[in-house]
Structure 1
Amino acid sequence: MNTMTRVVEKQPHVVFIPFPAQSHIKCMLKLAKLLHHKGIHITFINTRSNHKKLVESGGAHDFKDIPGFQFRTVSDYPSSGAEDDGVEPMTPTLAEVWMYLADNFFDSFLDIVSGLESTPATCIICDGFMTYTNMITAAEKLKIPIILFWTMAACGFMGFYQVKVLTDKGLLPLKDESYLTNGYLEMEIDWIPGMEGCRLKDLPQYMLVTKLDDPIFKYHYGTAQAAHNVSYMIIHTFEELEARLVNEIKYTFPNVYTVGPLQLLLNQIEEKENKRTGLNCYSLWKEEPECLQWLESKEPGSVVYVNFGSLAVMSLEDLTEFGWGLVNSNHEFLWIIRTDLVKEQPVVWPQELEEEMRTKGFLAKWCSQEEVLSHPSVGGFLTHGGWGSIIESLSAGLPMICWPYSGDQRTNCRQMCNHWDVGMEIGRSVKRDEVEKLVKLLMDGLEGKRMKEKAMQWKKMAEMATSSNGSSSLDIEKLANQIINFS
């Protein structure tokens, strides 16, 4: 009697590795949820302190007890032993976490993957900024395909990618620090389709250094070039927004998927399944529902929403200038002020300003940003220019004022103002008169009206991209099928 060996196909199983910051985790959780909906098992790896925050804020609630979706954690800071004595350990800074993971994440990751015996991992989706932990080497060791996910716009990725190009052209590093102020940074970079008019000063400031051995420079240099060492790449944008730039990236890299805006894709699933269309919490901080309650009493399009993201910090002087500018604009505002927004000191307002702000504004520590942006009472957004904030604002059809802080935010701001025509930039040195002027333009001026109309056009384009036959929907299908084929 012939015996036949039955071949059992592996269950597609993706291990997600986010960079340990709010916007990266939020974006990757949304993609993980979409892929899980396609029948793919998910293991999502957070650092211990970030996962604690996610659970305490309710951000992990929607994933609780879902078959085929699990969280795993890695240590992100050396144990002090204090927790064993019942003492709450201090939360490490992002810089401390980054340094610790450089030496420890690789082994912890291999331990997690080796423990997935019942449903072995068949694919890794790694944040593009986590390759410094040797994840490409880990994928090779495990013989598992790896996909890099850039939780940013195509312009943001291309901005970082220019580190090598500019170095090869002899434009970097800077000759000396005088080049930061002598007009050199006004030089236009004219070789990137879709980023015409981009200047050196519009690229991430981390690359504007005077020495090639600068640690942060080397990190970003290596991170961007690591894209050449993988066969698949995901970018959180939609083709219609950055068509020429996406085409350029696809010409350089073999398999690129554009999957944004992710929230609109999730909304599509809810609508198809006749579920309540709503927004889920993916936040490391507890969101305050009072923000939405306050907005309910306001006139349509009358409120300025202000949020500088999860990492930006400023001086108390800058915060005060923003405050006076908002108050003097005579527009009501909803302002998110994190407890750590001001550098190394508590927020203490001048008494007169505090009284004015109580009358015209609502201050909170965190909110459900997508719900706020889509609220009819909100008419404009004062933002730091993080990509998560910009793509959420475009999805809501809202114009912006941008105060770029770090990373890809300078590049985003340039594109937002000069190519997408939905924003205005505010100077790095904050002045209350400029804040007042730009808020009035945004909310009342002809410029604001024009930008609002353009933002509404991008909103419609984003909705088209995430419709059943839209570019992002098709790319999600292609991505899911590729992952299934890996197994």
Structure 2
Amino acid sequence: MEMAHVIVIPYPAQGHVIPLMELSQRLVNQGVRVTFVNTEINHELVTSTWVEKDSFKELMHMVSIPDGLESWEDRSDLGKLTESILKTMPGKLEELIETINNQGTHKVTCVIADGCAAWAIRVAKKIGTKRAVFWPSSVASLAPALSIKKLTDDGIIDNKGIPIKDQTIQLSPNMPPIKPSNLPWSFVGDLATTKSVFKISVDVAEAATMTEWITCNSANELEPEEFSIYSKILPIGPLLASNRLADQAGHFWHEDFSCLKWLDQNPVCSVIYIAFGSFTIFDQRQFEELALGLELSNRPFLWVVRPGMTKETTVSYPDGYTERTHTRGRIVSWAPQQKVLAHPSVGCFLSHCGWNSTLEGVTNGVPFLCWPYISDQFSNQTYICDVWKNGLGFDRDEAGYITREEIKSKLKHLLSDKTFKEIAMNLKEKIMSNVEEGGNSHKNLSIFIDWIQDKDTYRCLE
């Protein structure tokens, strides 16, 4: 039997690349050949930071195709990026697959595309190869995209995704309600980005109709109602859970491992870990309120302040801040987050609630303080605070800021109430049992890999 050869394509964002890299490594470990396709910019970032890439080079090949933008153009402009991707990348992907197939060996047998890269599913359908969608986030964040026709027909949104009515949206009786402003494609005050991300969401729904498989980086225990409603979606996660202490692949920045030794010097459950992912941007006032709130907590903290995290050219701390906090505060530009969250000294995770970060906190039994920024992060906060109850959110003042006093108060509440830690640890045990041999996600992933390899055992899912 010819070896299965899978093309894997993420949407070009940090939170999408990491879980698909993890899935690709699982495939390689089961004897599947993988060609992982990044944009040119992201390819350079990922290959420069992945320390274990040589161990996978026999079966995993990292390649790139252009996204159509010049190297100096702003890829945080999602409208511009989306338009360029749709013009450029489908043709380039088709050329890549044709080149591979014309070499005569290891022809492409399957395409696995990120749900937000539906254009790749259309390419796979055109050339006649089998295909699957991988959704890197929660089912709850996918549900609105799959419900666009109903939301439009019911007069809740218009045909550009803009809410018509200012009313909460209930996709099912047992799913948490959604504010119109918290729809995954809704960027308040930025109509152009909203329209672009809505177009991606429409394409996600289309891609779901063109594939036999929609796999999801989640677990039944996290979203039982959602998986019962959207039964075609197969939970295979959290993918990172069974690989918690390994060196992750897919990061855009170099991780500062020295912070792990700093954590060793702190008592159990004493450290506040603060990280906002790769996209969050603060204005100077909010950044300073966060900094001063951490100082007022009078607790040790490890804070990830990546390049470009504030609107200013360079990050500026309050006067004398680093001198006042250097004995109990550690600031790094990027951290090995899985290993940090697994460290016994970490007491809570102040997070933007991106799905990868949410899963990493959950699988390490760490309580959350939620500070969502965009898209599905608001939905993730709802699950943390209202469904799983392993964390708290913040309240904003009349000007829309989260104040230093609010930060101090919520930190004190979270860390003094042991119930949050107990709930977090119980949830961890449930999720870890899912990814271990015999667990539901473990079985589903095995079935999916059997399908990729054309084995008959995958039919038992039907």
Q: TM-score, normalised by structure 2?
A: 0.90
Give a deviation string over 1:308-360, Cα, whole Å, max 9, x none.
Answer: 00111111111101011111011111000011000243211221333333233
Cα distance change on mapping 1:331 and 1:160 into 2, 3 Å? farther
Distance, in Å, in 2 between the alignment partners of 1:473 and 1:43 is 23
TM-superposed CA distance for 1:103, in Å, is 0.8
The answer to whether the aligner puts 1:93 opposite 2:65 as a matched pair is: no
Partner of 1:43: 35
1:104 alignment partner, one of 88, 93, 102: 88
Partner of 2:460: none
Give a deviation string over 1:69-112, Cα, whole Å, max 9, x none.
Answer: 11111123455xxxxxxxxx537524354332221101110111
TM-superposed CA distance for 1:66, in Å, is 2.8
Distance, in Å, in 2 between the alignment partners of 1:162 and 1:457 is 32
Cα distance change on mapping 1:147 and 1:171 into 2, 3 Å? same
Cα distance change on mapping 1:474 and 1:457 into 2, 3 Å? same
Larger Rg: 1
Letter of the 2:108 counterpart = A
Give a deviation string over 1:407-466, Cα, whole Å, max 9, x none.
Answer: 11111111111111112112462211111111111212x2xx212111101110111101
Q: TM-score, normalised by structure 1?
A: 0.85
Corresponding residue SS for 2:116: helix
Corresponding residue SS for 1:351: coil
The answer to whether the aligner puts 1:136 opposite 2:126 as a matched pair is: no
Distance, in Å, in 1 between the alignment partners of 2:206 and 2:319 is 51
Cα distance change on mapping 1:437 and 1:370 into 2, 3 Å? same
TM-superposed CA distance for 1:31, in Å, is 0.3
The answer to whether the aligner puts 1:21 opposite 2:2 as a matched pair is: no
The answer to whether the aligner puts 1:188 opposite 2:179 as a matched pair is: no
Letter of the 2:112 counterpart = I
Is the contact made by 2:187 and 2:374 (CA closer than 8 Å) also made in structure 1? Answer: no
| Stretch of structure 1 that moved more, 350-359 or 237-246 | 350-359
1:416 alignment partner, one of 384, 390, 393: 384
Cα distance change on mapping 1:129 and 1:386 into 2, 3 Å? same
Distance, in Å, in 1 between the alignment partners of 2:190 and 2:148 is 13
The answer to whether the aligner puts 1:380 opposite 2:348 as a matched pair is: yes
Cα distance change on mapping 1:219 and 1:205 into 2, 3 Å? closer
Is the contact made by 2:367 and 2:391 (CA closer than 8 Å) also made in structure 1? Answer: yes
TM-superposed CA distance for 1:392, in Å, is 0.5
Partner of 1:5: none
Is the contact made by 1:194 and 1:242 (CA closer than 8 Å) also made in structure 2? Answer: no
Question: Could you list the runs of 5+ residues in structure 2 that have no partner in the other structure?
Answer: 457-462
Distance, in Å, in 2 between the alignment partners of 1:287 and 1:174 is 42
The answer to whether the aligner puts 1:66 opposite 2:47 as a matched pair is: no
Distance, in Å, in 2 between the alignment partners of 1:342 and 1:386 is 18
The sequence identity of aligned pairs, in percent, is 27
Is the contact made by 1:20 and 1:94 (CA closer than 8 Å) also made in structure 2? Answer: no
Corresponding residue SS for 1:76: coil
TM-superposed CA distance for 1:486, in Å, is 8.0
1:149 alignment partner, one of 118, 123, 134: 134
Partner of 1:466: 435
Correspondences of 1:352-431 after superposition (within 5 Å): 352-427=320-395, 429-431=401-403
Distance, in Å, in 1 between the alignment partners of 2:181 and 2:73 is 33
Distance, in Å, in 2 between the alignment partners of 1:408 and 1:23 is 12
Is the contact made by 1:49 and 1:91 (CA closer than 8 Å) also made in structure 2? Answer: no
Partner of 1:75: 66
Distance, in Å, in 2 between the alignment partners of 1:78 and 1:164 is 32
Distance, in Å, in 1 between the alignment partners of 2:159 and 2:128 is 41
Corresponding residue SS for 2:214: strand
Distance, in Å, in 1 between the alignment partners of 2:187 and 2:306 is 28
Partner of 2:423: 454
TM-superposed CA distance for 1:65, in Å, is 5.6
Is the contact made by 2:237 and 2:441 (CA closer than 8 Å) also made in structure 1? Answer: yes
Structure 1's consecutive aligned runs of 4 or more residues displaced over 6 angstroms after TM superposition are 174-177, 207-213
1:259 alignment partner, one of 223, 236, 240: 236
Corresponding residue SS for 1:54: helix
TM-superposed CA distance for 1:143, in Å, is 0.6
Partner of 2:408: 436
Corresponding residue SS for 2:85: helix
| Stretch of structure 1 that moved more, 417-426 or 120-129 | 417-426
Q: Which has the higher contact order (CA 8 A, sep 6+)?
A: 1
Distance, in Å, in 1 between the alignment partners of 2:51 and 2:75 is 22
TM-superposed CA distance for 1:194, in Å, is 4.1
TM-superposed CA distance for 1:209, in Å, is 8.8
Task: Count the aligned residue pairs.
Answer: 446
Partner of 2:111: 124
TM-superposed CA distance for 1:198, in Å, is 3.9
Cα distance change on mapping 1:343 and 1:284 into 2, 3 Å? same
Cα distance change on mapping 1:229 and 1:210 into 2, 3 Å? farther
Distance, in Å, in 2 between the alignment partners of 1:371 and 1:45 is 27
Corresponding residue SS for 2:219: coil
Correspondences of 1:293-372 after superposition (within 5 Å): 293-372=261-340
Partner of 1:240: 221
The answer to whether the aligner puts 1:113 opposite 2:97 as a matched pair is: yes
TM-superposed CA distance for 1:393, in Å, is 0.3
Letter of the 1:265 counterpart = S
Give a deviation string over 1:108-167, Cα, whole Å, max 9, x none.
Answer: 101111122310111110000011xx2232112211111111100111111433433222
Distance, in Å, in 1 between the alignment partners of 2:188 and 2:74 is 27
Is the contact made by 1:34 and 1:266 (CA closer than 8 Å) also made in structure 2? Answer: no
Corresponding residue SS for 1:67: coil
Corresponding residue SS for 1:229: coil
Distance, in Å, in 1 between the alignment partners of 2:188 and 2:281 is 20
Partner of 2:256: 288
| Stretch of structure 1 that moved more, 198-207 or 339-348 | 198-207
Cα distance change on mapping 1:225 and 1:422 into 2, 3 Å? farther
Distance, in Å, in 2 between the alignment partners of 1:322 and 1:165 is 40
Give a deviation string over 1:25-80, Cα, whole Å, max 9, x none.
Answer: 110000011111111111100111111111222x163355632211111123455x
TM-superposed CA distance for 1:222, in Å, is 3.2
Distance, in Å, in 2 between the alignment partners of 1:190 and 1:36 is 40
Is the contact made by 1:159 and 1:411 (CA closer than 8 Å) also made in structure 2? Answer: no
